[in-house]
Structure 1
């Protein structure tokens, strides 16, 4: 049995069909190198293959990869090989995909090199699907506003720069749909895995009144916080632990009433949040 039990409200007896279904993975850290601590880099393709079977059953409308698709390499050429290998597998799972930049994605590569390789034009953006507004954030900027790339950063110095904050504020003010946000570094708790100016980001998310939830990775373990009516859900990393039982991935569903249901597999917890109002 792969599915974890729901740990929030009881399920409706007869829930409506989802308006949108999304496959979620995070922190794959693929690399052709030996394990380091609890991270088993070479096992990621097998774990992703298991997730692919579930996604083929559930037929998500699109996939979101929440950052750190690859691990760091000693050279640009080797990191590009890591990226080409794992993205060939990932891109075959679903035609429509969205990539959140993680700090390891641009440890040796530049953002443009990563984005070009995965076929995504922007590192942060928004789009509508199934009556829901989705926002993809990029927190891979130093406190001085410089973008990560070519080993020019400390991973604990994660920020949304002024231009992205302005864009986010304008984007949310122009939107009246229920909204879900995807991020890599955490926007809820304080700590080494968090965005430095997270309070400013949260104030913008709260100001529009339409943001339902934020899904994030980076700290590699399940966590859930609710701050001012927004759920901040941190997902389990795929790279952690050896063997199929240590895998982690999920399917996110949002129905026409605004109920959010996250079905987690293996180490990933499952949640359900009823519609507000």
Structure 2
């Protein structure tokens, strides 16, 4: 990547979309701002919809997907705990028009590898499914820890890890086994940033020299965030507005 070249990734978390006019307009305006701001990709980090039944949750997710189809670039979706109150992960992705998509995945953008974790599992390793969980008890299961270890080892690029739940400090909104997750980061030495949601508040912690950004909730009127990825590092822009707007 040329020294002066940057790539932008848009981030939205905790939409808690309810189908109302306010929620629809908020998401429409976020997509419009990202399109106007030369943003190359969009990652939605979980808790997309607040459904009250299986059919209602599916309808809301279809509406979210339709609005996000207006983005001028690739869109990736991560599930959050609220998305699984009335659905399975397979149903979540089917409703979004991404049938068969994995709930934990990786992609490359702007000279960085992105590893998107799925911590929507109970501590006993059972996946969240139709509300079979208590949300403060989230964990990254052993199989996914092995996957994460392999992805970190295989990456030839610096890495950004994304999680719906917090993995920077022990709290109600964090995964129970965050020490195991962070040990893998330390051993790999490739993780340059962590981005997370779920807590509905802006926060920044440095853990073992790695900046861990917690993004506030879109439902609480937080604008989209943007990661600027360049040869000199990563910069997070909160409440992003394209140049030339107030």
Query: 1 CA distance for matches of 2:8 and 2:223?
Result: 17
Query: 2 CA distance for matches of 1:179 and 1:152?
Result: 32
The residue aligned with 1:197 is 177
The residue aligned with 1:148 is 128
- Please give the residue correspondences for 1:10-89 in structure 2 after superposition, counting only pairs within 5 Å: 16-18=4-6, 20-32=7-19, 43-73=22-52, 75-89=53-67
Equivalent position to 2:84, from 100, 106, 111:
106
1:236 aligned onto 2:236: no
Equivalent position to 1:181, from 149, 161, 181:
161
RMSD of Structure 2 on Structure 1 (CA): 1.7
Q: CA deviation at 1:97?
A: 1.1
Structure 1's consecutive aligned runs of 4 or more residues displaced over 6 angstroms after TM superposition are none
Structure 2: which 5+ residue stretches go unaligned?
Answer: 241-246
Do the aligned partners of residues 100 and 224 (structure 1) sit closer, same or farther apart at CA in structure 2, a change above 3 Å counting? same
- Partners of 2:111 and 2:230 within 8 A in 1: no
- Partners of 2:105 and 2:115 within 8 A in 1: yes
Q: CA deviation at 1:42?
A: 5.2
Q: Normalising by structure 1, what TM-score? A: 0.81
- Partners of 1:43 and 1:239 within 8 A in 2: no
The residue aligned with 2:234 is 260
Structure 1: which 5+ residue stretches go unaligned?
Answer: 1-14, 33-40, 241-245, 267-277
